[in-house]
Amino acid sequence: MSDLSLPDVDANNPLEEADAVVADVFLPQADHGFVRAIGAASDLTDQEPLYAASGAVIATGLLMGDERTLRAGTRVLASHLLATAFRGVIKEMIDRTRPVPAAESGEYELTEGRRRESDFSSFPSGHTAGAVAVARALGRHYPGSYHAWFGLAGLASVVQVVRSKHYMTDVIAGAAIGLLAEEAVHRLLCRAERI
């Protein structure tokens, strides 16, 4: 993969142009052993592992009779579910060729959503949306570890660009989705507690 680069991107805006420049920096490294290893580690922020982690936190809270842990697990699960739903709606609306398939095929598109193949679902980053939503939810219940959770979420997000699975703006949009989803869950839970 060392000779991969994006085809000429007819950028519609400066952000898309910046995405192409950054992607071209990382594409030659996409198949490097270290990049594959950190990419595999970042897959822990994919949907299924985050659902499993949420379930484990809920189960731990139930088994230990620990209301704080149970509430944290519930908040994490709800935040992740909502972030995944938001991300899914947006992915249906926008087709964007992922960096590696664009480089391999020589074709790049950013258009209204019509395709369902993974190669055209770069925008937004679901890994990032889930990781950020979960990090923020955990940070609310365990404020002492807030920065650690966000550091891990940030690392998992940046890795999506480094491994050429996403563009920079895909990750930024995913982070915004994660923050918005968790904030919506937080407000809903605050209202429920006042009732």
Is 136 domain-assigned? yes
pLDDT band at 9 (very low <50, low <70, confident <90, very high): confident
Helix (H, G, I), strand (E, B) or coil at 96: strand
User: Which one is predicted more confidently, 57 or 9?
Assistant: 57
Q: How many angstroms separate the CA atoms of 149 and 21, rounded? A: 29
Average pLDDT for residues 10-29, to the nearest whole number? Answer: 87
Please indicate, yes or no, if residue 8 is contained in any of the structural domains: no
**pLDDT (tens digit, 9 = 90+) per residue, 24-54?**
999 998 889 999 999 899 888 899 999 999 9
Answer for the pair 186, 133: CB distance below 8 angstroms, yes or no.
Answer: no
148: CATH: 1.20.144.10
pLDDT tens for 83-96 read 999 999 999 999 99
What does pLDDT average to over the chain? 92
Judge whether 169 lies within some domain.
yes
Going by the DSSP 8-state scheme, the letter that residue 106 receives in this structure is T
Q: Per the domain annotation, does 4 fall within a domain?
A: no
> What is residue 138's predicted lDDT score, i.e. its pLDDT?
94
Q: Which two tokens stand for residue 126?
A: 């679901």
Q: Which residue has the higher pLDDT, 141 or 82?
A: 82
Q: Distance between alpha carbon 11 and the CA centroid of its chain, in Å? A: 23
Gap between the Cα atoms of 97 and 99, Å rounded? 6
Task: Tell me whether residue 56 is in a domain.
Answer: yes
Q: How many domains does the chain have?
A: 1
How sure is the predictor about 2, in pLDDT bands with cuts at 50, 70 and 90? low
Picking from 91, 89, 82, 90, the residue whose alpha carbon sits closest to that of residue 54 is 82
- Please, which residues have CB within 8 angstroms of residue 143's CB and are 6 or more apart in sequence? none
**Overall average pLDDT of the 105-113 stretch:** 89
Phi, psi of 96 (to 5 degrees): -145, 125
Q: Is residue 124 part of a domain?
A: yes
Collect all residues with Cβ–Cβ distance below 8 Å to 50 and sequence separation of at least 6.
Answer: 44, 76, 80, 130, 131, 134
**Mean pLDDT score, 16-27:** 91
Once rounded to an integer, what is the mean pLDDT over residues 13-29?
Answer: 90
Q: Does some domain include residue 9? A: no
**What is the reported pLDDT for 26?**
94
Residue 49 lies in a domain: yes
What is the domain range of residue 139?
14-194
Residues near 104 by Cβ (< 8 Å), separated by ≥ 6? 4
